[in-house]
Amino acid sequence: MNGPHDLGGLHGLGPVAPEPDEPYFHANWEKRALGITLSCGAFGAWTIDESRHARENIPPATYLAASYYEIWTRALETLLVRHGFVTQDELAAGRSLGPGAVPKRVLKADMVAGVLAKGGPCDRPLEAAPAFAVGDRVRTRNVNPPAHTRLPRYARARTGIVEAVQGAFVFPDDNAHGRGENPQWVYTVVFDGVEIWGEDATPGLTVSIDAWESYLERL
């Protein structure tokens, strides 16, 4: 979907200004926000793609005014309400007002290290052969879906070259909306900077993205 989360490559937003020696957390509440988000994710009620889409759906004015972990927290509230773990009244009251949904799993302290080490692999076996090969010239589709997608706006309707075939992975555009994993081949596609930003692009600049197979068209 198009939204405030998808700002890569857009003009008028100013330069990226990295913070020297930036700490992992700027305040203690950010540590707690991360811990709560990961713990609730372990409930098994939603996927990482659904959680990303929940962040994308935060109203633009709210999203752009929020810090990184504020965005995580606001999206988590949406997910907890959607899946019946809390109600809007409970969020307003700051306490439980009745029984809610029962999670499939509760992340205990002694489980954390193992769960984090395992991660959440999303590569999947796929019988179909890749449609594209290294060196193929392709064009990304010109789409503006209202639902979740991992194809950034700046890279739509652009021509590039397949640099690598990365394997088959869960298709986030479906997985975010409960339509199943439906894995597809993923390719690293490289674009010349001029193709992305026009003639004013820095000479020699290239940009690469990882693109699911259905994002691409053969030229």
- Cα dist from 73 to 54, 69, 76, 167, whole Å: 10, 6, 5, 32
The top-level CATH class assigned to 137-218 is mainly beta
Give phi and psi for 14, each to the nearest 5.
85, 170
pLDDT of residue 14: 79
Report the alpha-carbon distance of residue 107 to residue 37 in Å, rounded.
Answer: 11
Answer whether residue 11 shows pLDDT above 80: no
Q: What is the pLDDT of residues 159-172, one digit of tens each?
A: 999 999 999 999 99
pLDDT of residue 42: 94
8-state DSSP, 102: P
Q: What's the mean pLDDT in 8-21?
A: 83
Answer whether residue 15 shows pLDDT above 90: no
Report the alpha-carbon distance of residue 144 to residue 6 in Å, rounded.
Answer: 12
CA geometry: angle 62, 64, 65, nearest 5 deg: 65
> Hey, is 89 helix, strand or coil?
helix
For the chain, residues classed under CATH 2.30.30.50 are: 137-218
70 and 34 Cβ atoms separated by less than 8 Å? no
Answer whether residue 65 shows pLDDT above 90: yes
Architecture of the 28-118 domain: Orthogonal Bundle (1.10)
**Across all residues in the chain, what is the average pLDDT?**
95
Answer whether residue 9 shows pLDDT above 80: no
- Facing residues of 112 across strands? none
For the chain, residues classed under CATH 1.10.472.20 are: 28-118
Report the alpha-carbon distance of residue 23 to residue 169 in Å, rounded.
Answer: 32
DSSP, residue by residue, 165-204 = EEEEE--HHHHTTTS----EEEEEEEEEHHHHH-TTSPTT
Q: What is the pLDDT of residues 77-127, one digit of tens each?
A: 999 999 999 999 999 999 999 999 999 999 999 999 999 999 999 999 999
Q: What is the pLDDT of residues 127-181, one digit of tens each?
A: 999 999 999 999 999 999 999 999 999 999 999 999 999 999 999 999 999 999 9
